[in-house]
Chains A and B, each alone.
Chain A
Amino acid sequence: MKNKIKVIFFLASVLTLGGAAIYGCKTPASIAAKSGAQLWGENCNRCHNAPDPTTYSDDQWDVVAEHMRQKALLTDVEITKIRDFLKSAN
């Protein structure tokens, strides 16, 4: 049992720290150049229909964006661009 826990936490640590190291690497230009509209279409549709940008007010989009950051585990760049795109329609 104890070994199982050790293995799980070892893997978790390696994954998290390894991931952090990868995160530090430069993001490819084509990924970095994605617009908020493109990210909105790609990421929202993965789980549900993408909402029309006029659905909510700016303040509501601020809250919805934080909600989806946590629920869909979106990256900071993604949610920032998507939120700005959705708010730009108001």
Chain B
Amino acid sequence: MKQKILMTLFGMLIGITSVWSQTDSTAPAPPPNSPSSGTKKLFLPGEAITMYQYSSTKGTPDNSSFTPVQISMFPLVKVSDRIFFDGGIQFGITDGGAVNVGLIEMMLYYRITPWMSAFVGNIAPHFGVYEGLLDDFTCRFGTGVAPVGMVHGPVNQNGVGIQGGFQAGYSKFTYQFYVVNGPQLITDTITHGAGNQSGEMSYGQVVDTKRAKGYGWHVGFLPFSNSRLELTYSGEYTPTTVPDGSGLQNVSSTAMAFGLNYYQVFNPVMVRVIAEYDMIEASNANYTIPSSTGTDSSYTYKNKQNGWFSGATLRATGSKNNFIKNMEIAGRLGAYNPPQNALWGGNQTTQTTFCVTEYLKWDLPLSLEYDVLKQAGSPDTKIFSAIAFFRF
């Protein structure tokens, strides 16, 4: 099986190389000894987010906090005309004042052809409309409360792949295919009752002892010549999510997302529409549930979760008043459906979001966000967030 996969990948590369050899590169070759050729270039941008948040749930005390959320650095290195390094490190702070450090991503790219790059490292898959990365810079709806309907599927993983984009007549295609360690099924034999996580997927595997890897894909289609509409289909399939010998080694995982991103200027207003549907499903399994009386039991459930969100924004880009011109008004609806019968599952959660963003500069949004979260059988939660986002 592995041989077939490797042969398929090899065949793809051979085919690609042969097609490339028949087409002219559109990138002009740099002149010999040009200072812009083969010279390493380091750029170290970063971002910091700080926030005030007020949360109210009926039956529980309200709470409000000023939160220095995180600071992130992105070492970007153009090693040569073909080789590029893209990294990201995040620093956060805990309640006790301790600093925690996290890896956002670490990818090394090699441009094989004008329309294909290979990459290796800790990758953020292009999954859904935000393509694995959600921040105030790209999100028009604020990030005080993450959309409940987003990224029920793969997040950062270690692996290798290819990606690129190419013109096809008046339309354009983008793609990404990769092989990663893949998710590992959580089998929780310790937690009693509702907190038991058995059946969830953990995507943070560094050492992979499973029999098979995860295979991911992303295809984007931009039908209009002005690139204003992007339709995406992405997913990841992992045939086995547990090492052999546990009895659960045949539990597979399939994740998929459909995304839409569209913007249009109806002078003087720019309208943007963003929508996503995503899901993750694992095949059926019997999970052991620990008992406080000493007699363990087992249970099974339909392990499928999905989410969606859809939103629109308005911005008066044609206004002569700078304050108005730099203001964006946004509204979003979304929902998350966990596996209803799982111990960690439950009822649907819906989310309604309103957000007003003022761009102090092109990359410095200041957002006021209001979220209402509803779940059957629970009181509504209302959250107000004021978020300052700095890029430097």
Q: Chain B nearest CB: distance from A14 CB in Å?
A: 10
Q: A residues within 8 A CB of B261?
A: 46-47
A42's partner among B9, B76, B215, B226 (CB-CB below 8 A) is B226
In the complex, the answer to whether B167 meets A31 with C-beta atoms within 8 Å is yes
Q: Note all chain A residues with C-beta closer than 8 A to B28.
A: 80
Cβ A12 vs Cβ B12 within 8 A:
yes
> Which residues of the other chain, B, contact A63 by a CB distance below 8 angstroms?
41-43, 76-78
Q: In the complex, are the beta carbons of B175 and A5 less than 8 A apart?
A: no
Q: Quick check: B115 and A76 within 8 Å, CB to CB? A: yes
* Residue numbers in A under 8 Å from B263 (CB-CB): 45-46
Q: A5-B215, A70-B84 are in contact. Are A24 and B362 (CB under 8 A)?
A: no
**Is there an interface contact between B1 and A23, defined as CB atoms closer than 8 Å?**
no
Q: How far is the CB of B38 from chain A (nearest CB, A)?
A: 12
Number of residue pairs across A and B with beta carbons under 8 Å?
161
Interface stretch among B13-21, B51-59, B372-380? B13-21
Bound: A45/B270 CA distance, A: 11
- Chain B, interface size: which category? 35 or more
Question: How far does the alpha carbon of A16 sit from the alpha carbon of B177 in the complex, in Å?
Answer: 10
A51 to B359 alpha-carbon distance, docked (Å)? 12
Q: How large is the interface on A (under 10, 10 to 19, 20 to 34, 35 or more residues)?
A: 35 or more
The answer, among A20, A49, A70, for a CB contact under 8 Å with B15, is: A20
Interface residues of A in 35-90 (CB under 8 A from B): 42-43, 45-52, 55, 59-60, 62-64, 66-67, 69-78, 80
Q: Which residues of A contact B131 (CB under 8 A)?
A: 71
* Nearest residue, chain A, Cβ from B126: A73
At the interface, yes or no: B67 with Cβ under 8 Å from chain A?
no
Within 8 A of A (CB), among B86-102: 86
Which residues on B are within 8 Å of A, measured CB to CB?
1, 4-5, 8-9, 11-12, 15-16, 19-20, 22-23, 25-28, 36, 41-43, 76-78, 84, 86, 107, 109, 114-115, 117, 119, 126, 131, 133, 137-138, 162-170, 172-177, 215, 217, 219-220, 225-228, 230, 237, 239, 250, 252, 261, 263, 359, 362-363
- For the complex, what is the distance from the CA of A78 to the CA of B114, rounded to whole Å? 11
Least Cβ–Cβ distance between B387 and chain A, in angstroms? 16
Nearest CB of A to B259, in Å:
12
Q: Is the CB of A80 within 8 A of B26?
A: yes
